[in-house]
Every structure is written in C-alpha cells, then in structure tokens.
Structure 1
Amino acid sequence: MTKVNSALSYDKDAVGIGRKGTINKPFILNAPFWTVDTLFYVIPNKYISLYFLFILFQQIKWNKLDESTGVPSLSKENIKVVNIKLPSKSEMIKISKFIFLLDKKIELHQSKLEALKKIKSIYLRYLFPEKG
C-alpha cells in the first residue's frame, strides 16, 4: 500500500489473522476497525458466534499453511483449504461461554501470580539487603 484516500472500515466485530508475520495468533477485532494488506479477517454470520470462531481459529495450525521462505505468510488459496466442522448455534454458545470463563480464570490467576512475584521480590530485597 502506498496511498489511500479514505479508510476502509467495518462496523461489525470480526476475527483477524495476520497475512504476513504473526500468522498463528488470531485476535478479535472490535468494530470499527481499519484493515491493511497484511490482515485477513472474518465477520461471522448470524449462525456463528464471534467468540467461538475466535476459539476455533486458535486451534488451527496456521503455521502449517505458511508458504514463505522468510517472513511467515498466508494466502487466500491456503486459507480456502481449511475445513472446519461447526456444531449447532446453541452448542457454539455453550462452548464459547465455557472457554470464556476458563480464560477469565486464567487471567485472574496470572494477575495473582504477578502480584505474588512482586511481593516475593520485595521480601527478598528486605531479607537480603545490599551492603550498606
């Protein structure tokens, strides 16, 4: 891309995946978002849950579709060969809620871990002060 006259934006949340670089780390794009030529995105339809799609994209081995010799890269042709099976909408919602709760619990424990590491560091400085 060299020059654009206006932003190419979308008003629906989507799941994004890098076309170049970090191709194996899908992420949720909150609307509105602007895209560039190094991003693929998928906007779920009414039959698919956004978070379920995000979870599903995290399970795909995107690196196996890498077609580069240098910077990891994906193409539309390689993405088209990915076949996925979808459960019913209600099942997607149940799976999404379950995984979401697990993710929140992991996040909480990671925060606690970081706090405990800080406390440990403070105690170590107190118990083993530098000379003087």
Structure 2
Amino acid sequence: MSNTQTKNVPELRFPGFEGEWEEKKLGDLIKVNSGKDYKHLEKGDIPVYGTGGYMTSVSEPLSEIDAVGIGRKGTINKPYLLEAPFWTVDTLFYCTPKKETDILFILSLFRKINWKVYDESTGVPSLSKQTINKINRFVPSNKEQQKIGEFFIKLDRQLN
C-alpha cells in the first residue's frame, strides 16, 4: 500500500523513518497548565507572557520546562514557544511535553491546528483544557518528532 493510500503515513518524510503514525489525543502528549497572576512577585529577569507575548519580567518562574503557549482567552490561534524559565498569566495556557513527546514537534503540530474551530465562546475567543486534551492528531515516534521539530524551528529562525 502506498503512502497516499494510508491515512496515517505522511507523503513526505525524512530518510530513515517508516511505518505508520499513531493517532493520539493531545492530552496523551502534553499537560495543559494554567497561568497565574504575577503581581505579588518582585521585578526580576524571568519573562512573563500573555496571549500577546512578552509582558514584563519577575523574580520567580512558574515553569522550569520549555512549553508551548496557547491562548485560553483572547488570541487563541497563535501558539508560540516558551523557553524556560518563564511565567504565564491566566489568559495563556502553557503546554508541557509528557514522556516521549518533543516540544518542538508539539509547537509545529499546534501551528497546524485551526484553533478557531475549537472556540467555545460567543464573545471573546476561548479554549478549555478539556477541549485541547480531546483533539486527535497522528504522531510519529519520538525520534521522528525530534527531527520534524528541529527542521521547523530552523526554518522559522531562517524566515524571521
């Protein structure tokens, strides 16, 4: 059976990788964490992010693990990489990888999702942890995730 006949095998692939990709829920790949208020913290050198990006800097991190930020309220369709250490406000989820999941692959995966389809509001765009966790996507092995993630981050850096 050719790659075009099989739904869970990509048409374009890096050399050395074969086999089918496995369908998984995002909740099996990542942990969706909530941001928090930062106003009780002192100024510092830890960046604070919201749905619009960098806001200020504080003295303590909320996370020591690289993550993908995705809006909970407001801008829900512009995921971006959060390099640890960082803090996020409550309008921004930060998604950390579970075992055998590459964060750069998750970033590229998130950028391909039409998040507006999952908008749960009638006013300000909104997402919930439950909605994010239920989304199904096909994913490769961890080694192939790393190769794909590295490729797209290098491409991103070349274009920006």
Q: Which residue of 2 aligns with 1:68?
A: 121
Q: Which residue of 2 aligns with 1:41?
A: 94
Contact 2:67–2:95 (8 Å) recurs in 1: yes
Relative to structure 1, the CA distance from residue 103 to residue 8 in structure 2 (aligned partners, 3 Å threshold; closer, same or farther) is closer
**Larger relative contact order (C-alpha < 8 A, sep ≥ 6)?**
2
Does residue 92 (structure 1) correspond to residue 145 (structure 2)? The answer is yes
Q: Which residue of 2 aligns with 1:21?
A: 74
Comparing both structures, which one devotes a greater share of its residues to helix? 1
The one-letter amino acid paired with 2:133 is K
- How many residues are matched? 107
Shift of the alpha carbon at 1:62? 0.8
Q: Which residue of 2 aligns with 1:54?
A: 107
**Paired-residue identity, %:** 50
Q: Which residue of 2 aligns with 1:105?
A: 158
The TM-score normalised by the length of structure 2 is 0.59
Q: What is the aligned-residue RMSD (CA, Å)?
A: 2.2
Relative to structure 1, the CA distance from residue 88 to residue 37 in structure 2 (aligned partners, 3 Å threshold; closer, same or farther) is same
Separation (CA, whole Å) in 2 of partners of 1:3 and 1:34: 8
The one-letter amino acid paired with 2:90 is D
Consecutive unaligned residues of structure 2, counting only runs of 5 or more, are 1-35, 42-59
The TM-score normalised by the length of structure 1 is 0.70
Shift of the alpha carbon at 1:21? 0.7
**What is the SS of the residue equivalent to 1:99?**
helix
Comparing both structures, which one devotes a greater share of its residues to strand? 2
Compare CA radii of gyration and give the structure with the larger one.
Answer: 1
Relative to structure 1, the CA distance from residue 23 to residue 2 in structure 2 (aligned partners, 3 Å threshold; closer, same or farther) is closer
Shift of the alpha carbon at 1:13? 0.8
